[in-house]
Amino acid sequence: MRSPLKALEKAPEELTAGRLKRIGEGVGKVVYASEHWVVKRDRGASEIIALILIWRLMKRVERFLPRRLAARWASHPSAALRLLRVAVQTAVSLVPKAVWFGTHWGRIWQKFVHRDVRGEYLAVKHLSGTSLVPETVTFPPTLVRVGGWPGWLVVTEATERVEETLYERLKKLAAQGRWNEVERWLERLLELRRAGWRRGVFSVDAHLKNFGVIESRVVLLDPGGLTDRWEDVEQHLAAMAKNGPPSQQFGLAEILKGAPELAARFDQRWRELADPQAIRDLWPERRSG
Ligand SMILES: Nc1ncnc2c1ncn2[C@@H]1O[C@H](COP(=O)(O)OP(=O)(O)O)[C@@H](O)[C@H]1O
Ligand SMILES: [Mg+2]
């Protein structure tokens, strides 16, 4: 049963009761939370471009760094990196928009925003109200206090806060050698992904930080990268096939380091389930736009 977004007359009390903590961030958003709810701030264009620039640059520099250092760098954006972002962002924002919108980076930004907006639309259309995503409520514009700069934020919706991301959960379990549980969560992830495919949506941004854990459920946190176009799915699968083990592409390399057989089983299972024909069999019959 799918219900539309739940509209409240007033924001949940806890959102305005105190200062919200910054609990996560991606390229497109910064996420703040109270005890049970999260709100998101969309980053501005120059902020996103700066992050993409730095990320690309890091990929290039990474090749010359020792592996351990590179892994650390990628998983802990340090204060230095944040400073670098602000510097690059300033440079980016000094270039007139009309100039860089026409550049390579402008187009990358446009593509990114388009993917994000379309994904959100598809999530509302096909997933809201289902157990595949956290609950979302909407309310009249509300001013909330948040940690860090700029200190305030106006929001009109909030999302159920998950216990932690799937990435964090798996990392903890792996550190304790609880491999059976790791494998069970991975199986739940595949089940969730198949449930999405049955509804005719596929995520091309499947990093484990984009999934969350609520009790024994895996949910999709970040709809950016969702597509309902079969051509996109085919293209993505073809690209994945050329890019090495699926487990690594989902960000599992570090986590499964201590369990190579498990990684191999997961890769095998993914290839079986995400075979284009197998997905096509689940995909609903509808003409997508
Ligand atoms: N509902 C939620 N509950 C808890 N943490 C969340 C929630 N939504 C997002 N986060 C945290 O914020 C991070 C960034 O959110 P995400 O929607 O993926 O933004 P982006 O589009 O920038 O990647 C996530 O990786 C996660 O750590
Ligand atoms: Mg994300």
Q: Which atom of ligand 1 is nearest to the CA of 29?
A: 22
pLDDT in tens, 139-167: 999 999 998 877 999 999 999 999 999 99
CA of 274 to the centre of ligand 2 (A): 21
Q: What percentage of the chain carries pLDDT values higher than 70? A: 91
Interval 34-63 mean pLDDT: 86
Strands 164-165 and 152-160: unpaired
180/279 Cα distance (integer angstroms): 27
CA of 116 to the centre of ligand 2 (A): 10
All structural domains of the chain with their residue ranges: 7-161, 164-282
pLDDT in tens, 210-269: 999 999 999 999 999 999 999 999 999 999 999 999 999 999 999 999 999 999 999 999
More confident residue, 254 or 288: 254
Give the count of beta carbons closer than 10 Å to the beta carbon of residue 208: 21
Is 225 near ligand 1, meaning CB less than 6 Å away? no
- pLDDT (0 to 100) of residue 181: 98
- pLDDT (0 to 100) of residue 69: 65
Q: Which bound ligand lies closest to the C-alpha atom of 166? A: 1
Best residue among 168, 222, 226, 250 to mutate for probing ligand 1, ranked by most atoms within 8 Å of CB: 222
User: H-type helices in the chain, by residue range?
Assistant: 13-17, 45-62, 67-75, 79-94, 97-100, 104-126, 166-175, 179-198, 230-241, 246-249, 260-273, 276-282
pLDDT in tens, 101-122: 788 888 888 888 899 999 999 9
Q: Structure pTM?
A: 0.88
> Is the Cα torsion angle 41, 44, 49, 54 positive or negative in sign?
negative
